[in-house]
Amino acid sequence: MKLFSFWRSLATHRVRIALNLKGIMPDEVAQVDLIKGEQRAAAFRAVNPMMAIPALIDGDGPLLFESLAIIEYLDETHPKPPLLPADPRGRARVRGLAQIVACDSHPLIVPRVREYLEHELKLDEATRLRWCRHWHIAALTALETHLNDSATGRYCHGDAITLADICLASQAAGSQYFSVDIAPFPNFKRIADELSAIDAFARAHPLKQPGAPGSH
Ligand SMILES: N[C@@H](CCC(=O)N[C@@H](CS)C(=O)NCC(=O)O)C(=O)O
């Protein structure tokens, strides 16, 4: 198994958590340096035409792409522990929470968007940060409202870890990138704190990866 990764990538952070929860160790982790723009190099474009990570090759392939699709693939091929509830309504809630992070919020703050704001629209750094914080906080606000529900337990959905918790952890890491205080979102913060104490989550954190500032 080969994972295309970079320490700072929040989408890859999600996949790393799922791999850890499933007890899967990729044979190879290929670094795609997003700061240097390696995602746009011809060699990687041939791997993933979206020029984004994560990407995963399991055995003979084909290439797996998009974090949520990869995580559901891992869940289907390695069912224990399950990352989705058994009931359709529960699965819909968990996928909905996950998609607020991975589909509604995160795509607005990825490097290609920030670089477009900078180079094409000529927005200065403070304005670009304002953009990122705005969309990040919009998702935090929606998540907090959804989590204020009897379906929430120790984690986002009951007392078992699900795909929604994986996405919540990546949103929490993003809060650090943009210096967003999560204290005004107490359900979100409580769950983020719980998750950060779990080994599979702690080991997957961006700042624990090779190349990250302060990592070894
Ligand atoms: N929706 C995708 C997002 C993939 C994505 O945009 N990944 C970022 C890193 S977190 C990336 O590689 N961006 C490259 C760029 O924006 O140029 C997923 O969840 O996998």
Q: Is 52 in the pocket of ligand 1 (CB under 6 A)?
A: yes
Is the bond leading into 81 cis (omega within 30 degrees of zero)? yes
Nearest-CA residue for ligand 1 atom 12 is 52
Q: What is the pLDDT of residue 214?
A: 76
Percentage of the chain lying above the pLDDT 70 cut: 99
User: Is the link from the previous residue into 210 a cis peptide, with omega within 30 of 0?
Assistant: no
Mutate which of 34, 73, 103, 132 to test ligand 1's pocket (most atoms within 8 Å of Cβ)?
A: 34
Pocket test for ligand 1, best of 9, 50, 99 (most atoms within 8 A of CB): 9
CA–centroid distance, residue 214 to ligand 1 (Å): 23
Q: Which two tokens stand for residue 155?
A: 């984690």
Q: Does 114 contact ligand 1 (Cβ within 6 A)?
A: no
The reply to whether ligand 1 has any atom less than 6 angstroms from the CB of 55 is no
CB-based contact 11:67 (threshold 8 Å): yes
Of all protein residues, the one whose alpha carbon is nearest to atom 11 of ligand 1 is 52
Question: Which CA distances in Å does 191 have to 48, 154, 187?
Answer: 33, 7, 6
Stretch 22-41: mean pLDDT: 96
Write down the pLDDT at residue 108.
Answer: 97
CA of 186 to the centre of ligand 1 (A): 28
Ligand 1 center to 199 CA (angstroms): 25
Mean pLDDT of the chain: 96
Q: What is the pLDDT of residues 91-131, one digit of tens each?
A: 999 999 999 999 999 999 999 999 999 999 999 999 999 99
Task: Tell me which long-range contacts 90-95 makes (C-beta under 8 A, separation of at least 24).
Answer: 90/151, 90/157, 90/158, 93/146, 93/151, 93/157, 93/164, 94/156, 94/157, 94/162, 94/163, 94/164, 95/68, 95/163, 95/164
Task: Supply the pLDDT for residue 179.
Answer: 93
Tell me the mean pLDDT in the region 135-154.
Answer: 98
